[in-house]
Every structure is written in C-alpha cells, then in structure tokens.
Amino acid sequence: MSESVNITDSQILQPGFLSGEVVHHRFSPREHRFTNRMYWHLLSLNQVQDWSGQSLFRSLNRFNIYAIDNRDYVFCQSRSILEQISDYVTHQSGEAFSGEVLLMTHPRFMGIGFNSVSFYFCYRQQQLHAIVSEINNTPWGEKQLYFHDCRQQQNTDNHYDFSFDKCFHISPFVSMDIHYQWRFVVNASGVDVHMKLFKNDATLMYVGMKTSWLSADSGITITKPAQAWKMWLNIYYQAARLWLKKVSFYNHPNTE
C-alpha cells in the first residue's frame, strides 16, 4: 500500500447536496454536445435513518415525495444499502470493509426513480478506500457495478484515475468495443468526474460532471424536485437527436 497521506476532515465529503453541470460531448462520427444542470442528494448510508427523519416528505423503503428504497441499489435486495455495498467492497478489495459510505444519487420522487449512475464514496480511517459506480440502463433495467480501488492512489490533490474496458451496454449509440479513462476529484468542496471514451485509440466521447457541495438545509428538495424524471426524459430526448443525425445504432449484445 502507498505511503499514508494525512487527509483532514475539511477534505472529506459530508452529507448534503451537490449542485453541478453534466456535459456530454461526442466527437465522432457526428458531433453532438449538450449540458444539463443537475442536483444530487449526498447521503451518509451510516445515518440514512436520520435523512428520512429530517423531513415529513422523506422516507426509507416506503412511499413519500422523496424516498430511498434499498431494492433500487447494489444487489437490489431488501437488506440495507450499507450492508450490500460493504459486502461488495469487501469482496472486490479482498479486505474486510467497515467505514463511512456516502451515496450520491437521485432518490425516488413520487414513487418513481431512475439513476443512470450513482456513486458510493467509501471512507475508512478518514481516507477514501474505494469508489463504486453503479450504472443503470434504460429501457432494459439492467445494472452494472464498477469497483474503483483508491488505496494505492492516496494523494493530497484528492484525484483518482482509473482505466478499464467497457463491459456493460448503456446506449444503443455506443458500441461495446470501448476503453474508458475516468478521473474522480473528491473533496469537501464537491465531486468532479471526467470520463473519456476511446474507440480504436481515438477519443469518441467525453462525459463530465462538475459539482459543488451544498448544505443539507439549502432547500434544494423544494426548489429543484424531480431530478430523476428530468434525467430519464433527457436520455430519450438526446437519443432522438442522435437518431435524427443518423448515428450508428447498436443492438443490445444479448439480442444479437
């Protein structure tokens, strides 16, 4: 393991909200670019009962205006999300994990929810032990977890780089022969994610997310509701634009 780096409490993410912009920029075979202003809940899974108890409009595993349902996450089981993600990190890392886990996500809104991606930031002894990316596709309703081991990348710049091959079908306008390069910048100020997609060593697409942290009493749930609905609708809107641009369409691998 790399030499320990002193990370103070002021550098660690805290529960609250994240406000930011998502950028998609496709370079080939047709240029296509869009940006979305989005807001995310940042929940401590160790204190998720506190989150649901802070407002009459939030619930855990039952209907409300905002709700977190254990079955929407990780292994889609009824047991707690913290238990599920801790088991997954333990299995992937080969080391028993116990610590603070922050979930960046969109809760269900009025019983309906969708996250194209949720992130789990897994802290152990005040260091970022791992990041887990949870990808969901639509309309197939499938899920893929990507494990990002941060143990060898402890640094005072709070950035973490990962390179891996695509193994999960997300968009019918992107083939499976893709190589990813992802960078996370994680600190108390927010979360930045930079994703580059390469095909045949050429950059096909860039997806970026730059966020700023907001306190739990910022009122985002009142002023910016239905973020999950907004994301889901935009996926289909952008798909229609790509289809009109005659971008190549790739069937789901399981149907070929």
Domain contains 155:
yes
Q: Is residue 226 part of a domain?
A: yes
Q: What is the mean pLDDT of residues 152-169?
A: 91
Total domains in the fold of the chain: 1
In a domain, 7, yes or no: no
Dihedrals phi, psi of 71, to nearest 5 degrees: -75, -10
Assigned domain for 166 exists: yes
The model's confidence at residue 255, banded by pLDDT at 50, 70 and 90, is: confident
Which domain range does residue 56 map to?
Answer: 18-255
- Give the pLDDT confidence score for residue 206 in this predicted structure: 98
Contacts of 146 (CB under 8 A, 6+ apart): 132, 133, 135, 164
Cβ atoms 111, 63 nearer than 8 A: yes
- With respect to residue 9, please indicate whether it lies within any of the assigned structural domains: no
Q: What is the pTM of this model?
A: 0.93
Look at residue 13 and tell me if it is in a domain.
no
Which pLDDT belongs to residue 224? 73
Q: What is the mean pLDDT of residues 160-169?
A: 97
Q: Is residue 4 part of a domain?
A: no
pLDDT in tens, 125-142: 989 999 999 999 999 999
Q: Does residue 161 lie within any of the structural domains?
A: yes
H helix or E strand, kind and range, residue 211: strand 202-214
58-103 per-position pLDDT tens digit: 999 999 999 999 999 999 888 999 999 999 999 999 999 999 999 9
pLDDT band for 10, please (50, 70, 90 cuts). low
Please state which of the ranges 56-60, 182-186, 223-227 shows the lowest mean pLDDT: 223-227
